[in-house]
Amino acid sequence: MDQRVASLHESLTGRSQLRVPGWLPGGLSLLVISLILFASLSALFFNAQLASLTTTLFDPYLLRVLRFTLWQASLSTLLSVLLAIPVARALARRTTFRGRSVLLLLLGLPVATPVIVVIFGIVEIYGNNGTLNHLIRLFGFSFQVNLYGLTGILIAHLFFNMPLAVRMLLPAWNQIPDESWRLASQLGMKSGSLFKLIEWPVLRRVLPGSAGIIFLLCFASFAIVLVLGGGPRATTIEVAIYQALRFDFEPSKAALLALIQLVICTLTVALLHHWLRALPLSSGLATTSQNRPDLNQPGSRLIDFGIILVATTFVALPLLALLRAGLTGPVLSVISDQSLWSAALNSLMIAIAAAGIAFSLGMALLTTSRYLRFHRKQPNRSELLELSGSLTLVVPPMVIATGLFSLLLPFGFVFDWGLVLVAMINGLMVLPYVIRLVGPALLANGEHYHHLCSELGIRGWHQFKLIDWPIIRHPAAFSMGLCATLSFGDLGVVALFGTHDAMTLPLLLYHRIGAYQFEAASVTALILALLCLVVFRVIDLLIGGRRALH
Amino acid sequence: MPFIELEALCYQREDWQLKAAFSLERGECLAVIGPSGAGKSTLLSLIAGFERLISGSIRINGRDYTTAEPADRPVTSLFQEHNLFAHLSVKKNVGLGRHPGLRLNQKDHLAIDQALEAVGLSGYHHRLPESLSGGERQRVALARCLCREHPLMLLDEPFAALDPALRSEMRGLIHQLIKSHDLTVIMVSHHPDEAAEIASSGIFLHQGELKAKGVMSDLLNNPQLPLLRAYLGVS
């Protein structure tokens, strides 16, 4: 009787709250992700006509595409990682020079810059009429650099992935204890043996994971290959899928290609699973100052700053070229063009929707993952649920898109719903960023406060509002800004679903480059890049508050 | 009828087991002593409801709480650390003991003021935990415990990180609050002598089993059990 009176009293005074079971948010999120994947993959299997698999598999065209895809991805990965090691080492050795933080910011820029914009900058520098060939001619040489083909693909992949590799490798130096350096100076070790005996062992732990991620990114690279590949000689699976769907109208071929893509990505992740998990979560790039004995070795300063200068120039050049080309182009006529702004509006809506989708799915997954870890004491399931948010690493967006495309094609409204599908798939694509950026803060909150919260009965909305949100607000704002920016500038699945009525800004830029309207394209590229920055800043500021301005 | 009755508690985690049974009268203060790994904190977690029993029952004030959620138990805990939400002010931290969503009425505000006064922190309402000393933080947490008006308080070495003088001061405060607020207390301690200052009775745990229970001074001054003698270092 006592208990019933008490609970009646609680409900009358508003002290009881609807209890949502802890597994529900993540469960729903997982259901949505699985449904999309299931619908897409089953459409692929249905369409791929597996009966003729053996004959198609040995189709020379397919084999050539497959071989080139693997070749360019391996080469890009190897170059990115090999070149990143000396850059990361130089930055790890020089921890206190002026402008280091600006430089690190610059190295972080490629992640958020739209691929199509960078491609434009690269063409400005390395293209047939670009700065580099201009200089070569100026010095009287007769050869010229031909950008289109493997060269262009490698340069662009290096632009994006060398800085990424630096960012992934740099935290490894923080794992070297100070004692190691002190010991090394007592033993009189030189730079070479320092690398071999102290630095290489910690690097070796993060190298496979970093290389794996870069391989996956290059393997599934679309826009770069589409624009810089320059024809059927240099086509990857993703581009072949696009051509099969949009030009050859062969959904079954596209489906087969998508399945091959899926198998290789899955194999890569399965192979590297161990190392991918061990990859450090830290997003910070501050390296602790180290008392290493080789800082004043003759010439070491020169070598370090030389390497840093070359790396910086390589990243900065295309961006500067873009700025110059954009500012000297027909700015007025481009910005007074109605189609630019309607495309920008479409992009903005996709960006906001994708960021919203990614954040909702991500928060739901993380909340339940935390519940499983701390309340149910099931760390394995918790981790598995968190991993499900990164499924798009295994199943590239283009594969999902191909499945949904062939699923919806018979109903005839693929293009009416194109932008909605693009937003949805982009949301899944950027979901891993939410998980990785917000996850650690939310888990740390759980670790510190889960007993306190459960004893005080703080759960659901109250827990989100009072306990979690104040802590995750900044990483959440940052991740949503990043998600929106990435979707805003993405030229991937939108190429499949986009039409003249459903144009996005990156697609418009691609069309202008394709139509050789380079002057208009240069202004469009600059506007796209600037709008990306604006979208990021505004979202970071709106959600993260004023303090988010770092 | 005893105030707290723990009947044949049994808890298992991997190959480690905890078994205990005892009862406590209202107003009693019980010290839980024993070497690390004996299950002292786990015992408190079971009573608070953070961990689930395999078998046995927990009755408090005549009602069964064996399967109740932590928030529904008439229990309030003071942990060793992370007792306060670092981003919330003192007043909000204490207020969360009144309403989990901080919807506070006039009565709640009064209770918060009184609790802060009882621990000697009037006027600290708007301070953030980072601006407080270790002892002050634990007092704020203590104020929240008082605010909840639950008769059973569980102390899991809340003063372990404090200096000796401060520890003794906090013990004095607890002792005084037990009297003024009619609290029943179960406290885990690594310092049996200090615990004896406020605990009238004690239990000794060893490898997950309750080995001895008795009046605190008897346990410490005249230990019969060889295990307890070894733990206390009495030859």
ipTM of the assembly?
Answer: 0.87
Does the structure show a pLDDT above 50 at B101? yes
From A367's Cα to the closest Cα of chain B, the distance in A is 18
A450-467 pLDDT per residue, tens: 999 999 999 888 999 999
Does the structure show a pLDDT above 80 at B73? yes
Please give the pLDDT value at position A11.
Answer: 47
From B69's Cα to the closest Cα of chain A, the distance in A is 8
Q: Read off the pLDDT band of A12 (50, 70, 90).
A: very low
Q: Read off the pLDDT band of A547 (50, 70, 90).
A: low
B82 to chain A, any CB pair closer than 8 A? The answer is: yes
Find the mean pLDDT for residues A133-137: 87
A492-531 pLDDT per residue, tens: 888 888 877 788 999 999 999 888 888 899 999 999 999 9
Which of B14, B99, B146 is the best mutation test for A, with the most CBs of A within 10 A?
B99
From the list B49, B50, B71, which residue is nearest A456 (CB)?
Answer: B71
| Contact yes or no for B100 and A457 at CB 8 A | yes
Contact A244, A227 (CB under 8 A): no
Contact B46, B98 (CB under 8 A): no
Interface of A with B (CB under 8 A): 2-3, 14-15, 17, 448-449, 451-452, 454-459, 461-462, 465-467, 470-471
Alpha helix ranges (H) inside A52-126: 53-57, 60-93, 100-112, 115-126
A294-340 pLDDT per residue, tens: 887 778 889 999 999 999 999 999 999 999 999 998 999 888 999 99
Residues of A in contact with B69 (CB under 8 A): 454, 457
Provide the CA A339 distance to its chain's centre, in angstroms: 28
A176-189 pLDDT per residue, tens: 888 888 888 888 88
B146-166 pLDDT per residue, tens: 999 899 999 998 888 888 888
Tokens 């203060």 sit at which residue? B29
Please give the pLDDT value at position A550.
Answer: 40
The CA-atom distances, in angstroms, between A66 and each of A60, A71, A149, A283 are 10, 9, 16, 34
| Contact yes or no for B72 and A457 at CB 8 A | yes
Query: Which pTM does this prediction carry?
Result: 0.84
Q: Read off the pLDDT band of A283 (50, 70, 90).
A: very low
Cα(A140)–Cα(A138) distance, integer angstroms = 5
Q: Express as a percent the part of chain A with pLDDT over 90.
A: 40
Tell the CATH topology of A19-37+47-174+211-272+303-548.
MetI-like fold (1.10.3720)
From A449's Cα to the closest Cα of chain B, the distance in A is 7
Q: Express as a percent the part of chain B with pLDDT over 70.
A: 100
B127-144 pLDDT per residue, tens: 999 999 989 999 999 999
Name the CA dihedral angle for A311, A316, A318, A321, rounded to a multiple of 10 degrees.
-140
Contact A404, A255 (CB under 8 A): no
**H-helix or E-strand spanning residue A382:** helix A379-388
